[in-house]
């Protein structure tokens, strides 16, 4: 049966956004119709700035050269840092398709996860994990979680990564909660696959990645579809735990490493191989974040973007990598000037796309 594009649009608009994203895989016609005639597919991701001290999310309106530096408040928790803690006990784990995953660290047992859709004002609490040991101190549990979306299956998953806080609540298993299903599932991950939490956790194209805390570093990958764990080589040796961190670069898994000269190298994993793509001339504690066509960097209350451009050698030919001189102030552009909440200007950057995705469809009654 042949359907006109207008009729097809009317049918597809009755589906939830997650189902429309999966429907793009049916054929070229459906992909083009959904891409051209539905709002969420036409929207470009905006920069979400999470203020760690006040637990407030802001959205930067524009990163282009015509940016006015404006921003707007997206979501506010009503909870802020205390005199004893620099950061709020509520932290943002990650974002997927307009949904925010929050972790309440004010818990003595692995944190409490809640999903929020700022556009619809809905909240979805996730059943908490249990810890085999009694924990007598609060920890940054949010660092042990990842919130991810599989583009083919259309499933959202909260993933708890095997790790240990100073030998407290050690775990050698990946624990997974799929939205719409009941309970956490346990996936064994033996053989030294605990996460170095300082390197971060990144999900790219349906796979969640982290770096091990072992002497010989490896990159561990957890497939969100078949829920299998695999490990691969690390592109370079590093002497200190804070000498590397994971990132998403051009939609691929990236790794930023400090080389012996003190500069930072951004490596990208392509076709099972690591390739050096960028050299960042910046101090070790001042790493910009890859974001689309730019690198983003916060300096106190200021958010700057740096362009990604091809680099020529002194002989005139193009190098296989780009050199990004973060110290060159004439190359950067101010895209937002944030107001300080209290005395702190601590911001983290995420991607955000407004969605009408209802959270109530994932409620299981637990």
- pLDDT-derived band at 319, boundaries 50, 70, 90: very low
Domain boundaries, the chain: 1-42, 43-362
Token reading at 2: 């042949």
- When comparing pLDDT for 165 and 160, which is higher? 160
- Render pLDDT for 347-359 as a digit per residue (tens, 0 to 9): 888 888 888 878 8
Please say if the pLDDT value at position 126 is more than 50. Answer: yes
Asked if pLDDT for residue 327 goes beyond 60, the answer is no
**Region of poorest pLDDT, from 176-185, 201-210, 217-226, 231-240:** 231-240
Q: Under CATH, to which class is 43-362 assigned?
A: mainly beta
For residue 192, is pLDDT > 60?
A: yes
Stretch 10-17: mean pLDDT: 70
270-274 long-range CB contacts below 8 Å, 24 or more apart?
A: 272/232, 274/233, 274/235
DSSP state, 330?
G
Q: Would the pLDDT of 158 be above 80?
A: yes
Per DSSP, what are the bridge partners of residue 324?
Answer: 280
Greater confidence (283 vs 289) lies with: 289
60-64, 246-250, 319-323, range with the lowest pLDDT: 319-323
Q: Is 291 exposed, middle or buried (0-12, 13-18, 19+ CB in 10 A)?
A: buried
The pLDDT of residue 234: 86
Provide CB contacts within 8 A for 197, sequence distance 6+: 140, 143, 144, 163
Please give the mean pLDDT across all residues of the chain: 77
| Confidence label for 157 from pLDDT (cuts 50, 70 and 90) | very high
Task: Report pLDDT digits (tens) over 15-26.
Answer: 766 677 667 667
Q: Which residue shows structure tokens 């400090």?
A: 258
- 10-14, 149-153, 269-273: which range is least confident on average? 10-14
The pTM score is 0.81
More confident residue, 70 or 221: 221
Sheet holding 289-291, edge to edge: 289-291, 294-299, 302-307, 333-337
Assigned token pair, 243: 């000498």
Closest CA to 15 of 40, 32, 36, 42: 40
pLDDT the model gives residue 347: 82
Residue 220 pLDDT exceeds 70? yes
Residue 189 has pLDDT above 70, yes or no: yes
DSSP state of 344: B
């Amino acid at each position: 049966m042949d359907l006109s594009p207008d009729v097809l649009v009317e049918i597809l608009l009755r589906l939830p956004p997650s189902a429309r994203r999966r429907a793009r895989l049916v054929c070229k016609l459906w992909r083009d119709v959904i891409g051209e005639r539905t709002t969420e597919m036409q929207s470009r991701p905006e920069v979400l700035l999470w203020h760690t001290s006040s637990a407030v999310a802001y959205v930067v309106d524009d990163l282009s050269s015509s940016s006015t530096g404006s921003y707007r408040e997206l979501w506010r928790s009503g909870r802020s840092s205390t005199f004893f803690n620099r950061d709020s006990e509520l932290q943002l784990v990650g974002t997927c398709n307009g949904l925010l995953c929050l972790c309440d660290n004010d818990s003595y047992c692995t944190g409490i996860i809640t999903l929020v859709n700022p556009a619809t004002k809905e909240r979805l609490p996730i059943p908490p994990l249990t810890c085999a040991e009694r924990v007598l101190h609060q920890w940054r549990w949010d660092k042990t979680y990842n919130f991810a979306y599989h583009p083919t299956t259309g499933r959202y998953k909260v993933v708890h990564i095997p790790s240990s806080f100073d030998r407290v609540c050690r775990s050698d298993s990946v624990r997974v909660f799929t939205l719409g299903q009941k309970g956490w599932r346990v996936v064994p991950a033996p053989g030294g696959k605990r996460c170095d939490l300082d390197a971060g956790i990144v999900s790219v194209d349906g796979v969640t990645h982290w770096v091990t805390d072992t002497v010989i570093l490896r990159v561990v990958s957890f497939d969100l579809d078949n829920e299998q764990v695999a490990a691969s080589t690390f592109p370079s040796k590093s002497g200190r735990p804070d000498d590397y961190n994971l990132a998403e670069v051009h939609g691929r898994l990236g790794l930023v490493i400090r080389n012996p000269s003190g500069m930072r190298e951004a490596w990208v994993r392509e076709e099972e191989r690591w390739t050096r793509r960028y050299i960042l001339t910046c101090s070790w504690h001042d790493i910009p974040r890859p974001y689309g066509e730019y690198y983003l960097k916060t300096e106190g209350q200021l958010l700057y973007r740096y362009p990604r451009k091809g680099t020529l050698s002194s002989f005139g030919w193009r190098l296989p990598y780009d050199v990004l001189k973060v110290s060159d102030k004439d190359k950067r552009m101010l895209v937002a000037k944030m107001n300080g909440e209290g005395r702190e200007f601590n911001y983290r950057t995420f991607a955000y796309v407004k969605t009408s995705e209802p959270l109530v469809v994932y409620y299981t009654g637990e």
